[in-house]
Structure 1
Amino acid sequence: MRVQISSPDLEPEPEEPGSHGTARPRLTPLLAGLAAACSLAVLVPMAVRLAGELTREPTAAERRNAATREIARRYMTWPSGRVFPEQIPYTLDVGGDETARRVGISPDTRCETAVDPQLGASLGRHGCRAVLRAVYLDEPQGLAIAVGVAVFPDEPAARAAAAGFPARNPRPGLRTVPFPNSVTARFADSARQAAAVRQRGPYVVAATVGYVDGRPVVRGAKRQNDLFALAPQLTVAVLNPLTAPIPVDCDSGAWTC
């Protein structure tokens, strides 16, 4: 004889609103506590590391990078009169100490118009960003000197671009900037007699010199020594301040370290 035992009537657990009969796992207080503890175990070390990053002193590499970025931005952040000072002293073998005076600064900063076409292509390949140009007069006001600052993304690009400039020959090279209604009005490209170029950091500084009366180069004619003495001195006078490092102040809002 078999005895059948019927199962007790069990009331189903009430469904949570919106469940539509889908069972949801529930965390017991113990599991919830373990989950919270695990989250804290991950977040606390992360917060400690973040706080350490925010309060630590910048590394030497970070300071160097900050200094490099500051120098690379000077062509934009400095006033044009600081890039090209109003007066630049120079020295000649005959005549001693003299001063070149700025005539004007060109508003055209395009790379392709600042140099001869065959050199412009080279500057473009190396990422030229701008070329700033100014014109100076020597003290006797018989010579005009165009000085240009070519800007590149970094030092290797600038170094490669500088190699395309002839050492002393002004062609191909920096073009002149004749300022109308000034003594340099006839200082055209055909008047270029001598040149110089220097490079440091992301900058290439070039200069080209000629007579203010616009006389062209005469083949075989001897050129005065002043032509060759002026260009190197003015390039260095512009390049040195532009690339001179200054102390990095990471606590100042002007620096990003």
Structure 2
Amino acid sequence: MWVALAVAVGYLVLSVVSVTGAVRILTRDPTAAELRRAADAEVARRWRAWPAGRIFPERLTYLPGTEEVEYATRAGIAPETDCAGSVDAATATVLQRHGCRAVLRATYADQLEGVVVTVGVVVFPDQQAAYQARQEIPGSPTALRAAAFPGTVAARFDDAARQSGTAERGGPYLVLTTAGQSDGRPATAVAGKQRPDDLFGLVPQLGHTIAQTLSTRALPDCTSADWQC
């Protein structure tokens, strides 16, 4: 009887300790490492969770080589998100090798409507995959396919008109750009000809803005209704 009583008391003490430990774990504040992991997971979900207009705002600011800010206006957002169909064949091979999930594209026109820029957000499983893909893909005008939109200033922008391009990684995303002139003149027609140095100056700026917006982490705030800790 005494042995049975001792065993019962032992189980009771063990149960109390286990419950106390569980309560402490469930009610404690998250650690800094847990907050960082949660922030990284939130960034990785943005391409699905955010509306298209938040990823590609209607207007983006840029500096045209002066101190005066100008605005690039969105001509449209492409409905296709296929990795292979949104980039050239060589780039598609690299993206697929590193686990590309989707490519989101939108096209912008500069304030004077003389230059159009297609921006592509390539989605990867994690930052390491995006980093490795960036190492293999240079900033090339032909890496990303142009997205034209009938009835807009970007109506004539096709793959043959691509003259400038960039690549920038932001978190688990690789942001590619390709740009040309809104009249649709082929790149071969202007090859070797002198052009203004700042003609495509907005191209890396638009890519950087979108990459930075998508990849900037927002650490969870347990006092905010937007987060559940």
Q: What TM-score, normalized by structure 2, do the two folds share?
A: 0.91
Distance 1:217 1:95 in 2: 30
Q: Could you say which residue in structure 2 is the equivalent of 1:136? A: 108
CA distance in 2, matches of 1:233, 1:133: 16
For residues 76-112 of structure 1, give each alpha carbon's deviation from its aligned partner in whole angstroms, at most 9, with x where no partner exists: 1111111111111111226943211000001111111
Matches within 5 A, 1:10-159: 29-93=1-65, 96-159=68-131
User: CA contact under 8 A between 2:115 and 2:200: conserved in structure 1?
Assistant: no
1:187 maps to 157
1:234-253 counterparts in 2 under 5 A? Answer: 234-250=206-222
One-letter code aligned to 2:212: N
Instruction: Assess if the C-alpha contact under 8 Å between 1:111 and 1:124 holds in 2.
Output: yes
Quick check: 2:116–2:154 contact (8 Å CA) kept in 1? yes
Q: Give me the whole-angstrom Cα distance separating, in 1, the residues matched to 2:202 and 2:195.
A: 13
**Alpha-carbon shift at residue 247 of structure 1 (Å):** 3.7
User: Partners of 1:95 and 1:176 in 2: how far apart?
Assistant: 29
Which contiguous aligned blocks of 4+ residues in structure 1 show a shift greater than 6 angstroms? Answer: none
Count of residues in Structure 1 that have an aligned counterpart in Structure 2: 227
- The answer to whether residue 177 in structure 2 is matched with residue 207 in structure 1 is yes
Show CA shifts across 1:121-177 (max 9, x none).
11011111111100001111111100011111111111111123223x312x11111
Alpha-carbon distance in 1 for matches of 2:152, 2:137: 28
> Could you tell me how far apart the structure 2 residues matched to 1:78 and 1:54 are?
29
Structure 2, unpaired ranges of 5+ = none
Identity in percent: 44
Distance 2:49 2:33 in 1: 23
- When residues 164 and 104 of structure 1 are mapped into structure 2, their CA distance, relative to the original with a 3 A threshold, is same
